Chain A
């Protein structure tokens, strides 16, 4: 899960950061040292872990550094350009920049780039590119002009692609943007015109890029607040021709376009970008991390003192100018689950509640496992936690809270609970369970006491399970509190089948009017509205996706019995048989875990018309599923195809004798029958061709196999 850690500042005194911010921050050859160049005359080398400068160099009064200093990773020397044309090279031991090696060039330098694994590369203002060594051999060599008049370099970056340096720079001329890709070793230059779609009118404010094997992905942040992505091939198909590349929308409205000091964008890793700017809702500037795969906000941090609209990312550190001082925010992205990545947006309004991992570490739950988890975390956090623990009063807060629960008013309990949840204690699981038991105990004694908000809060900690508080769901069932039941179904991993079934009964029988009043989490329900309107025109989409159509099967005997006219099928096409609220509740049932043997006897108790309704809904979901090739439903957390089919089977197994007698279920049963029959033929076909597949695979392997004996040439380097 991507996370921003606590920020810290590097000392601000040495730098003279103007309103335009810094000239640049570049990596040094040691991992946590950075070269910071201001807009005046100074270059400072900072060590991030020590939060202090290691060295500082200035050019003479009257001279002006014009491009940020870089480190030559091959020699460990530093390179800077002042007054556009004068190149200086020095190392750590040098004190005075005036006395170090100097070379005067014949053209103005735009930027020096240096990355690990290659020599520094210089980009001139006219668009020419030179390696440092080639330039040093003949400093006064002629530098050609590549760019046309009025074309200005807006952004530039150097990559290593398969150990070859590739320089990319973006220019602007009269509101049009051009991308140049320069292979430094082979001196091939390709030019692309950046075509922009609907965002034509907006101005691009920040660029960033990342590279994978074949493509450079350039991301741009426009003044409309959206992030666009453009893919540019590393190896051009035809370098001579001026090619066009199109940008596509990646993230919508991440920042408001009209930030006072500008916005910045940088790629963190394959799935994450960091955006600096003010979000639409707030006026304060904010650093936010977005997951571009799921288009979700992962985390964000407010920067109340304002920034210069510049952002650098090296190693694991995000660097920016916050107020007057250079600030470092470490960024961590640990491996996480999809559910976790999706969940952050939902919880971002409720920062007090931390999400606990839903899995149980068997070893940890046995002893004081949390202690060992602490040990793995960075030392800084550990120290903070220790302080927290030591500052706690002698009476454990959980005990205090329990007594509060027994006596005080609902409001007071809620406040105390919020305080308690903000601090995480080692035996959190057990205490939360005790709290719920306490609350429920009081509920039973005082029928008027209904601590609903507290319960919701506790359930949302993700640490509760059915077995920790068995009374909770029973109470909710008794009060037909569908919202609480839905929450429990979503959060508890271990609900007994009898309770699941009781919930199902309530969900099917509760009146529509009472459903409208309940606050139900509608996340798993997609918009059924479209389908209801669209289905009059849409042809019935059946299981055609599997490559098999039941209509085409002539031996299907039932087809003759039932008038299988297209209109008839159209009549049965998807109109959602239940309201969205009820659908959301039923989806919660579909998501919950169960064991068939225990569920079946309970399912038999549900009245036949409710079973038919549920079956109709499931069949509707199935038809929706088969509308697309991946056999999934739209929406954030929809039921899966397997869950739908399993439940259809379960319901039919439990109630077949009853359902078969109901006239209104007849059509449903026939369509299900047809569907099963077609599935069986598909699978039997698949099983038949599996052998052929295996043979094909073998043939493929043999092609790769170079035979039993060969003589080959091998060069060792």
Chain B
């Protein structure tokens, strides 16, 4: 009876234990489910892929430029705020990974990728700029202007310098492409393509594009894109829906592929010149490949191989990385479609990525007054959450005793987009910043009236902030400026006092973009885009320690109450817990790293954008990305790869044995999506801000209508 004795009491004990656990479990939450955040991302205008750093620059129609690190799980690691007049039409990388854009205001802009601001803007004096391209060596820039001029600029180490004009054309230059040897360029205009000799600057060929398409004559044929291949072939895409191949030596049309009934808007060629991709106004992306005419013959031919329909609207821009096709357009999605034959390992990286929402937080909340502050491109909205007295069981919608109120609509002055914003925990301070100005407001609540007063005379060094944070007691304000310094400001009734500025380590100018302050106000953690996380002692105003560096960028930071553990989420979906007082990783974090995260956790494709805590739940960490939120209960065992990480069904009548066996630390819910913000308001109340994709689509212009019935 050995086995029996072993089994019996053990089981009974376990049952009693699991009963206790059930009582002390996660329990019920009241969730404020918010869908009135009326955020619409801007359409994508251009993308530019940089092969050396494996980074992708994306510009949007509001002038925002975003940098995605394709090696770091497609994380959006940097962004430059938009500007009303700076409509970007072209974007390109040059030697030394410098990024330039040009737009309809006629200016060429260079971005400072370290300090995250505009380095300089330079007028090209040719009217609106429609196209720009860097020379194959990366040392020269070519822009095509409204007045028909093509201008060559020399890139100097700290600026660009105008060199000369090419022969002036009759109409605007919409597209440009450089021959890989650098001796010739092709320029697409309205109704024709010109081939220039770079040395002399004169046009050697003019190739007239047919306006007709399927028997219908359009008024004009706009050459939206050209690509110059090393064998002298010029590929053009135009508004008549054609992809055409031209021989630049003779100036003749070699082949024409009619592929769409609408405009073909963009083209990108792979570096090996064995494949290229075009995007159409119908939302289709076509892949063309150079394949042998017959087996084992050296004669090759361009063949349209694969169509992809990942967009509903115009595909304004495409890029071709060695392993993927990248496309973006009016429907605001950035789509990265890996080429399966180029992917060596068929892991999760080979999956299609569709990036719609920014990888940063646009929402802040005041826990005490239950306020939400929404950040839009040119205004802020302040909302008060409603309330209910009812209770219910899982899944119930409770009757509202008070609905949510729109309290405030704060419009910015000037053409610049808002970079960041924050509301204090008590709800009486709001701060936001644009690229050149910093604003601080004091709010007074009298019954239902709110009065707003701007705190004037901000100091000169507070011109622009990348991140703003109030301390929990609303007495201090922390500002990360783009020069790499962190300012600590004491807030008084209606005024402020500058306490200290933590200067960046000597030699670095890297901007800090994430901040976290401990609830007791003693510790401040700050992280830049690449270097590690620094922790400062706010009382003694000195650097306390630096968290060991990690390969992947930080996506979210927070400091837990009581324990002062710093929780860091990285773009590769790893989460670390670092004890600030002990200056080392906590035992729990070591245990997690030792066992490794569940494979499904690591396969999520959006980064964690916010981490939250509540002081009455010391063992719990709230994290969320765009498609799920998770409360980690550190007291429970970690899941291994065999356990079910996420179970959408509530447990019903399972025996305690099963429940005990399956209970693990990661409590995940995917009810709210796409999820832009989630926070614990108090112990049993959550606020979730959703932005359904349908609501975004409803605000986009209608796509090209395709008849459903009949032909």
Contacts and interface: CB of A to CB of B under 8 A. Distances in A.
Interface of A: 74, 89-90, 100-103, 117-119, 133, 136, 162-164, 185-186, 361-363, 365-366, 427, 429-430, 467, 680, 683-684, 686-687, 690, 701, 705-717
A647 B363 CA distance: 60
13 contacts: A133-B11, A163-B654, A366-B291, A705-B692, A710-B397, A711-B397, A713-B31, A713-B395, A714-B29, A715-B393, A715-B394, A715-B650, A717-B26
B31 A711 contact: yes
A641 to B, nearest CB: 14
Contacts of B303: 362
Q: How large is the interface on B (under 10, 10 to 19, 20 to 34, 35 or more residues)?
A: 35 or more
Contacts of A361: 341
A713 B661 contact: no
A709 B386 contact: yes
Given A366-B292, A690-B709, A101 B396 contact: no
Report the 4 A-B pairs with minimum CB-CB distance, sorted nearest first: A101-B3, A683-B710, A715-B394, A716-B26
B289 interface: yes
Given A101-B7, A133-B11, A163 B649 contact: yes
- Main secondary structure on chain B at its contact with chain A? loop
Nearest to B631: A716
A709 B403 contact: yes
Contact of B395 (A117, A162, A684, A712): A712
Contacts of A89: 3
Contact of A709 (B34, B652, B708): B34
Contacts of A185: 653-655
Contacts of A706: 33, 35, 397
Nearest to A77: B3
Given A74-B657, A362-B291, A365-B295, A713 B394 contact: yes
A636 to B, nearest CB: 29
B582 interface: no
Contacts of A707: 35
Contacts of B36: 708-709
Contacts of B400: 709-711
Given A686-B709, A713-B395, A717-B667, 16 more contacts: A101-B2, A102-B1, A133-B11, A136-B4, A164-B653, A361-B341, A362-B291, A430-B295, A690-B709, A708-B34, A709-B33, A709-B34, A710-B33, A710-B398, A716-B26, A717-B647
B404 interface: yes
Contacts of B292: 365-366
B435 to A, nearest CB: 32
Residue among A74, A90, A708, A713 with most chain B CB within 10 A: A713
Interface of B: 1-4, 7-8, 11, 25-36, 289, 291-292, 294-296, 303, 305, 341, 386-388, 391-398, 400, 403-404, 631, 647, 649-655, 657-658, 661, 667, 669, 671, 686, 692, 694, 707-710
Contacts of A103: 4
A74 B305 CA distance: 51
A185 B34 CA distance: 39
Contacts of B34: 708-709
A714 B7 contact: no
B394 A714 contact: yes
A160 to B, nearest CB: 11
Contacts of A363: 341
A100 B26 CA distance: 41
- Main secondary structure on chain A at its contact with chain B? mixed
Nearest to B650: A717
A101 B652 CA distance: 32
A90 B6 CA distance: 12
Contacts of A100: 3
A713 B392 contact: yes
A363 B290 CA distance: 10
A714 B669 contact: yes
B662 to A, nearest CB: 9
A712 B385 CA distance: 13
A687 B705 CA distance: 13
A596 to B, nearest CB: 12
A465 to B, nearest CB: 10
Contacts of B709: 683, 686-687, 690
A712 B631 contact: no
Nearest to A117: B658
A351 B698 CA distance: 57
A686 B710 contact: yes
B667 A101 contact: no
Contact of A712 (B27, B397, B404, B651): B397
A659 to B, nearest CB: 23
Contact of B388 (A133, A186, A680, A711): A711
Nearest to B303: A362
Contacts of A118: 658
A690 B667 contact: no
Nearest to B692: A705
Nearest to B388: A711
A713 B30 contact: yes
Nearest to A89: B3
Given A101-B7, A709-B35, A716-B667, A430 B296 contact: yes
